[in-house]
Structure formats: structure tokens, C-alpha cells
Homo-oligomer: A and B are copies of this chain.
């Protein structure tokens, strides 16, 4: 162990001395430059191995202006989607020889986003990947003039900036159509928070599917992604049913957590799923096959999102203009949806 009086770490010059060459030759070997005689290269490599030399990243960064790292700005990491995306991103980044630094936004304000990007810029990251889909932070992103490539993940098509996103509308349409095809007269909807772009996209898809089918468009209920809000929405729907105001037989909930809360509320209210009401979620979290009943939902491939984000960054760094491309979600039918009861 390098104890308290730790000798300073090895430098190129130490290796050079050991191998009997100049430090520049060592540098060339380390960076795989051509025009190093095979014998010399081997000697240097042996010296590197013997001494256990590792290049100093700070010095490299200073002279090259590149740290071979990306900054990831993220919020809501404690939710399944973002965490999974982070996983895909880190792996892809590492495979490409980049490391990842993360900044978690305290809130979705423009100031927080700006501050995070700024810190990354000062750290000379090669690119910033922003994975935030909320309110002002997104707007900030749109307007940002950063001196590094700035890639947005999961922000929906953005004309001004390279983007990777899941086609939320398509997923919502598929979910809604699935319910309509089961014979439901219409489909109710529990949204995510109002400042979330994903939530917005799902509302659009849901509405479009209803309109295309000529079905009535009921007033949506609003949630915040968490199970508790889904529970509240479930109680509200049950109340509507009991009051005889509306015939609620199908609900499309904007994510699986809220769907779980909704299922729980419906069970409390004595309504059976899918007997009385069919429910579709969104995300396909790993647990949702074990809800009561197992949840029909729309799968998003979050890890793929991360991978494509890195692809986009790399293309951008190479100067190739790459198309923004949506990841397509997929309907997973389980047992929470069934045919409408005959009237």
C-alpha cells in the first residue's frame, strides 16, 4: 500500500528511464502510435508492466482538452426507467473507452440544469448527455449553447438538437387501441406529472387513438408517477362508477407504479380487474408480471435508449451527422385486460 508518505505516482519519465528511451517514445507506445520499432515497443511495454505504470488522466486532459468522459445529467434516478437507462449508457460508454460522471438534478429548474452542464464543461467532459424530461430543464436544454456536444435522451423529437427517444405516442396509441379492440366504449387515462414530456406524449397518443376510433374522450385524471397518485386516481374512478355518472370499463395508466396503485384502489373498492375494469400500464417494470392481476403494459427498452444515446454522442464526436431515431415501445399483454362486458 502506498502509505502516508506516498511516493508520487509513476510518470512517463520513470518508465522512460527504466526502458532506456525518451518519455516521448513511451508516450507513443502508450497511445499506440505507429513508427515505433517492434523491439523498442516491446521493451517499453515490459517496463510499463514491471513498474505498473498508468497514465495520469489529468495531465492528458490538460494537454488534449479531452477527458474521454461524458457527463450525464439525470433526474429521478430512483425510478426504474432512468436507472435502467443509466445502466445502458455506462456500459456503452465504457465499451467505447469513455467513463461517466453523473450529476443528479435537485429539481427540474432551468437553473439546476444550467449549473450541472456548467460544472461538466469546467471538467472538460467530451459531451454531456441529458436525461431529463421535465419542465424547464428541457427548455433550458433547447436553448443551451454549450461548448461541448449536448445530447438529449428521452426528450422526444427535438429539431434543434440530437436526440434519442421512445415514441411515447405510439406506445400510448397501441395501449389504447388494444383496449378499444377488446370492445370497450372508451378508455380513461391517468396521466403523469404535467411538466413531463413523456406524460404529455402519452396523453397525445391516447387521445389520438380515441379520436381515430370515434370514441368519446373522457377527462383524464392526473398523477405524479408514484403509486400513491395511482391509488387516488383509482378511488376517484371508482367514485365515478358508483355515482353512475360514467361507465368506466378501461383505463390506460401512464406508468406501472401508478397502475399498481390503481389496481390496489380498485380492489379496495370491490371492483374486479379485468372483470369490471381493464387496466394497461406503461414501462414494463420487472415486477409487473406479479401484480394482482399481472399487468398488461407497454414495454420501453430503457437500456437500448442508453446505448443509442452513446452511439449518438460518438457519431457527433466523429463529426458524422446522425439521425435522431425513436425506440419503439411494445405492448405486453398480461391478465389485467379483458373484453368489455356486454351491455
Bound complex: CA A185 to CA B67 (Å): 61
Q: Does A37 lie at the interface of the complex (its beta carbon under 8 Å from any beta carbon of B)?
A: no
Task: State whether A91 touches B103 (Cβ < 8 A).
Answer: no
Q: Does A100 lie at the interface of the complex (its beta carbon under 8 Å from any beta carbon of B)?
A: yes
Interface residues of A in 230-251 (CB under 8 A from B): 230-231
Distance in Å from the Cβ of A21 to the closest Cβ of chain B?
22
Bound complex: CA A84 to CA B76 (Å): 10
Bound complex: CA A103 to CA B95 (Å): 12
Contact of A119 among B59, B99, B257 (CB under 8 A): B99
Chain B residues with Cβ below 8 Å from A87 are 77-78, 104
Task: State whether A56 touches B124 (Cβ < 8 A).
Answer: yes
Task: State whether B103 touches A289 (Cβ < 8 A).
Answer: no
Interface residues of A in 61-111 (CB under 8 A from B): 61-62, 65, 67, 69, 77-78, 80, 83-84, 86-87, 90-91, 94, 99-104, 106
* Subset of 21 A-B contacts with CB under 8 Å: A2-B145, A56-B62, A56-B124, A58-B58, A58-B67, A58-B123, A59-B62, A77-B87, A78-B80, A78-B83, A83-B83, A86-B104, A90-B103, A90-B104, A99-B101, A100-B101, A226-B286, A230-B290, A261-B290, A267-B292, A292-B292
